[in-house]
Structures are given as C-alpha cells and as structure tokens.
Amino acid sequence: MKHLLTIFLAAASLASATAASTWESLTVGGVSRKMKVYVPDNTPSGAALVIACHGMNQDANWHDSNSKWAAVADTAKFVLVFPEGIDRGWDIGGNRDVNFVCAIIDKMEKEHNISQGRVYLTGFSMGGMFTYHCANRIPDRIAAFVPVSGYPMGDKGAYSSRPVPIMHVHGTGDDVCVFSGVQPTLDNWIKRNGCNTVEELISPYPKGNRNQGAKMHIWGDGLDGVEVRLLEFKDKGHWQSEDPVFCLTSVEGWNFMKRWSLGPDAPKVKALEPENGSFDLPLDGMDISLTFDMNVDGSEAEAQLEKDGVPVNLGVRSAGNMLTLSVPELERGEYALTVRNVKGENDGVMKVYKATYTFGVEEVGDVPPYNEVFNPDLRAEESKVGEGIPTGWYRINTRSNGEKDEKTSGSANTGGARMKYFMQGGDFDEGFYLSARDYDRCEITYGKYVPEHALHFDKGRYVATFNSVYWNKGSLDGNVKFDFTVKSVGGKVAATFPSLPSSGNMDEQQGRIGGSTYHSLEFDIPADGDYTVTYSMTSGWAAVIVGNLKIATAMSVAERYKGTFMRTLAEAQALYESISDKDLNDPKAVALKEAIDRYRDLVSTAPSVYEAATAALKEAIGKAGSLADVTVIGSGDNDIVSVEYFDMFGRRADSMSGGVLVKRTTYGNGLVKSVKVMDR
C-alpha cells in the first residue's frame, strides 16, 4: 500500500510546473547545442539532475509537454534538462551526443551545484536507444538509466565498465519499436549486471491496482546490488504512457532513479561486525552492526538473511553513522546478508550491501576436502585437431548484424579463436587463443553437446580456476578484458564474471608461458542439471590466452580459514618435533615454537584472524624448514615417498599450476618435512 499511496500522491500533485523553464546553449565539439532547463523553486544545493531525451523527429518542447517530468521535478526538487538533438535525432553509434551529455552535467554542476553522483538519464524512442548507448559509454557519469519505448536496433550488447541499474518502459502494442525486441536487450544487461535470471513479477502493478494493464518484471540482486526492470503496459503503443490509470512513466522512472547514486553522496560501509564471511556464529540470535562513513537514515532500510532461497527479515535500527541488525534464532547453515535502502546525509542511497555468514559450529578435517568435477585434458587433443576446436567444445564468432562464424566440436586447424600449444613447464602448456578478430564477439563453450559431452553440476557452490596471459603488447597496453560465464543448457545464467584482467605478454610467440594471472572464481549452482561454461570477448583483434581450467566443489568458509589454519598448525608442530635437540635454540626454531604457542588455543569466528595466524605460522615454517632433521640419502626409510602441492584453497594441485602456495614432502619413515611456502 505504501507504493500505491506514493503513486496516488505524486499523481495528485502533478500540476503544471510553477517555475519558468529557460533555454540555454553550450558549444560541444565546435557546434552550438541547446537545451531546455527547468530548475524548480527552492531547489536545494546538491540536488539531483535528470536528463530527458526526446525521440526521432521530436524536440525538447515536445518531450516536455508530453511527459510529467517537470511536475515530478517540482515535487522532488531536482534539476531537469531536455536536451535537443541535431536534426531532431541522436548519435547512437558515436560520441557526439555522449560528449553533449557530459557537457550538460558539467554545466549544471557549475551553474546549479547539482550532485555529480546523482545524475540520471531517460529517453523516449530514439532517446531510449541513446540512453542504452550512454549506459555503455559513460556509466561512470550517470547513476541509473530509464529508456522508454526504445532499444538498440543493431548490436544489443551490454559492455559497460560497471554494473548499471536499468528500468525499461514499453507498451506491448508498440508498432515502431516492437515489444518483442525488448527482452533480448534486457537479457544482455541481466547477464552483464550479474542479476538473478529468474524474475520477480508484480502483476498487476502496483499491487492492488484495479487496472490489470501494468506489470513490473524485476531481475534483482546483481553486482553492486543493481537491478534490471521492465515496466510493461498492456496494449499501449509508441508513446510515453503517462496514464494515471496504468502508471505514470515519469513517477515510476524517478522512484527507480532516486535509489541509485555514485560517489560521495552515497553512504559506504566502513566496518562490519562480525566481519564478512564470519562463521561458527551462534544459532540463538545476535546483532550485526554496520558503521558508515557518514550519518545514515535507516527508517526505510531493509535487511534480510537468506538460506536456500528462504529469506529471514531482520530488525533494523540506526543511530548516527551506525546501523544495527537484529538476527533472530536460526537453523544451522550459510546465509547471505542483504541490506538496501540506507540513506545518507544528502539523500543518496547506498549500493545494496551484501555479506555472507555461517551460523552453527562446523567441524573441519585434517585433509582439505576437494572434489574435482571438470579438468579437460586439452593436450591430448593436439594430435586430433591441432590448432582447432577440441572435442566437446564449440566456438562462435558473431557480428552485430547477425553474421556468424561457427566451428563445432573437433574442427581441426581452424582460424580465429582456437586452441594453441606451448612449451611445457610454464604456467600452463595449452590454452584457448581468445579473440573476436574481425568479428564483434567470440565465444568458446563447453557443455553444449548433451549427453555425449555434458557438464553436470549438482546444486551447490563451486570454484573455477584458470590462468590468462596477454597475447601481445597491443592487448597488454589496451588492458583488454574477457568474460567467464556459467549457465544452464536451457540458457539460464548461473554466474557471470565480466571484464576479467590478465597479465604478462606472450609477444605472439609460442614459447613457455610465464607471468600470467591466476583466476579463482566461486559460483553457486541453483539446481541439479547440465550446464555450460563459456569464455567470451568483444575486443576485436586484441587477444588473451586462457588455460589450465579446472572446476571443483568449493570449500566451506570454515574449512578454508579455520581448517587451513589447523592443518598449518599441525604441520608446524610436526616440523618442530623433527628438529634435533642441538638446533632447538636456533632463533628460527625458537620463533617457530613461539608461533605454535601463540596460536595453539586460537578460537575465533573471523576469517581475518585465522588468515593472520596462518600467515604467521607459514612464515615461521618457511624459515625453520632447513632445520628439519631429515637426511635424504637415496635409499631406505629416508626415501621421498611423495611430494604434494596445494593451492590457496588447500586443494592438491600440479606443481606448475598458477596459485600453488605450499609444497609438502613425505618420507619413508613417515616424517612430513617442512611445508615450504611458495610464491603465488
């Protein structure tokens, strides 16, 4: 009812604007541009800015008179600009009008002291197309986007440098930008933003509305807490849909926009107690406190813990710069914390805050748990496909006009994105040359071919590890990025990791690979089933090499931190016991004993405490390792039985793989020699 009341009150107050609009001009790129500016009476310093773009063959006056934006500005007290396009249209492929928008923002900041962190862009028809264009080009200047009845007609890709909130408004009866083109555009932004792929549907919208014509589709919980929304109007055509019987586009647009902000106007969490990732927490209730960098208003804040899709609402109270969340009695398990709608001193709303907690004490083991589910032997493919597409994999390059270059499983010696093989002994020995080349996008996927090459996951948490290196200096200097995506065979995205960086430079030589970036990506699988994993890139001829892909079940937080600590403590004790009496007074042995005594009885719920203790023990182990009383003579009990390597998750790994941290040597007499700390 609160939302419905907001709509009715806003509608009742949308009388004609009381202040006068002014026409202003500025020169951008040597061209004089004009805009209609509306500043309501009593607009405060630091107000928000809304830029509203007209459609093709329209102008600023048309957009003003056919929308309710000025009346909304009167109520909400923000600065409103209706820019005018050249030849009554917008540059939706280049930077001409993008630069115009940036110049408007700077001018409004100088003349009206608007908040640069609360700038919003909306547009109708071609203005909506331009809104999407700006979402890709200048997401660092605009906090949220509301395109109306317009979407990209060509490349619908989502390439923004940050996750961006988008609410699209469209009528199902639109015969200019037909409604069927909306969802393909939104799907790309849902993927780029890492939003839930299962929508929340409010129908009718708002709840309780007697008119059944409006629906709100919400894909939430994206990266940085962003959302993608679709406000759908049944049978409405190609217009602004400022119809109070349905909803008012301008009111809904503002209610969405105002939730997002950039920069210092939005409160940021300075400290969380207990810290993010804490475990072994009590089941009988507790408080969680968040401290911010400014005083906050939590009167409209929402906080909940969620386990297996079931939310638990938390009590919220605020005082000064602190928010306190009251946690009720819970069942054992891992919970995701979400906090939203916390306002700062300037009405900026913080990004949705997320953390994870595990309630109930978890026992950990002497051996780190590790269950590998995918480790393709790509070297074995060299004799079959050469520089081609390995068995079970699929590659497709696409252009924005729909042209495709497809290479299927087992295609031998192909051009473009393909397998490459290198000298053995480097960070990895073979990998995918990932480049769109003269296409706009390339994708390399495993799991498409079911059942013969299916990739099956049970519901749960997994970790994917691999390495990447730049192919040449141009790719390195361009800092090109690539994406890694996990989705069901039916197309639902389970996890997406956009804009992954690399390091090193192959210099286009097929030598030994070194200096690569080690990636470790955790993701959740929502349901048992067959899935695909995909590497993708949109950077044309720039290229990276990705290799050494492994996917395994992820450790629990307690195993990762408490378990790793306890295993390291046991290894430190074993090392100390192996040191001969004559060396026990050596400073390195003394330091090892002191570290063991300091941490022997450590009990905590904080990952950082266990991390610090583990690091201190490893340092002492590394220094004292040379004192171990073991002589390797090549025969008998002192023969080396095994050499094991472990990565940062405590999983056994190949000695040359990226991310190896620990080397452990076992001898025939049962002694485990010192754990040697390796470089990451």
Tens digit of each residue's pLDDT (9 = 90 or more) over 293-309:
899 999 989 999 999 87
540 backbone φψ class: left, alpha, beta (φ>0; ψ -120 to 50): left
> Which of 26-30, 32-36, 561-565, 668-672 is predicted least confidently?
668-672
Residue 676: its pLDDT value, please? 38
Q: For the chain, report the end-to-end CA distance as a whole number of angstroms.
A: 55
Strand partners, 550: 465
To the nearest 10°, the Cα dihedral for 24, 27, 33, 39? -30
Q: How far apart, in Å, are the Cα atoms of 393 and each of 35, 289, 422, 532, 538?
A: 52, 48, 20, 10, 19
Amino acid at 560: R
121, burial (CB in 10 Å: exposed 0-12, middle 13-18, buried 19+): buried
Given a cut of 80, whether residue 675 has pLDDT beyond it is no
Average pLDDT over the chain, rounded to an integer: 86
Amino acid at 627: L
Given a cut of 50, whether residue 6 has pLDDT beyond it is no
Quote the CA–CA distance of 291 and 318 in Å, as a whole number: 10
Quote the CA–CA distance of 269 and 339 in Å, as a whole number: 11
Q: Give pLDDT tens digits for 26-43.
A: 999 889 999 999 999 999
**C-beta of residue 485 within 8 angstroms of C-beta of residue 578:** no
Q: Can you tell me the mean pLDDT for 184-195?
A: 91
> Tokens at residue 679, please?
């470089």
Q: Can you tell me the mean pLDDT for 459-467?
A: 91
Given a cut of 80, whether residue 370 has pLDDT beyond it is no
Given a cut of 50, whether residue 608 has pLDDT beyond it is yes
Question: How big is the chain by its Cα radius of gyration, in Å?
Answer: 29
Q: Can you tell me the mean pLDDT for 560-577?
A: 90
Q: Give pLDDT tens digits for 304-338.
A: 999 987 899 999 999 999 999 999 999 999 999 98
Residue 535 confidence class, pLDDT cut points 50, 70, 90: very high
Given a cut of 90, whether residue 527 has pLDDT beyond it is no
> Tokens at residue 518, please?
């080690």
Residue 446: its pLDDT value, please? 97
> Which of 380-389, 436-445, 630-639 is predicted least confidently?
630-639
Residue 640: its pLDDT value, please? 54
Given a cut of 80, whether residue 99 has pLDDT beyond it is yes
**How many residues are present in the chain?**
680
Q: Can you tell me the mean pLDDT for 70-96?
A: 94
Residue 143 confidence class, pLDDT cut points 50, 70, 90: very high
Quote the CA–CA distance of 303 and 59 in Å, as a whole number: 44
Residue 663: its pLDDT value, please? 56
Q: Which one has a higher pLDDT value, 583 or 245?
A: 583
Phi, psi values for residue 88, rounded to 5°: 60, 35
Given a cut of 60, whether residue 660 has pLDDT beyond it is no
Residue 274 confidence class, pLDDT cut points 50, 70, 90: very high
**Cis peptide leading into 44, omega within 30 of 0?**
no
Look at strands 460-470 and 503-505 and give their pairing.
Answer: parallel
Residue 115: its pLDDT value, please? 87
Q: Can you tell me the mean pLDDT for 423-432?
A: 89
Given a cut of 90, whether residue 426 has pLDDT beyond it is no
Quote the CA–CA distance of 298 and 318 in Å, as a whole number: 5
Quote the CA–CA distance of 208 and 54 in Å, as a whole number: 32
Quote the CA–CA distance of 394 and 408 in Å, as a whole number: 5
User: By C-alpha distance, which of 483, 468, 577, 445 is closest to 517?
Assistant: 468
Residue 651 confidence class, pLDDT cut points 50, 70, 90: low
Residue 30: its pLDDT value, please? 87
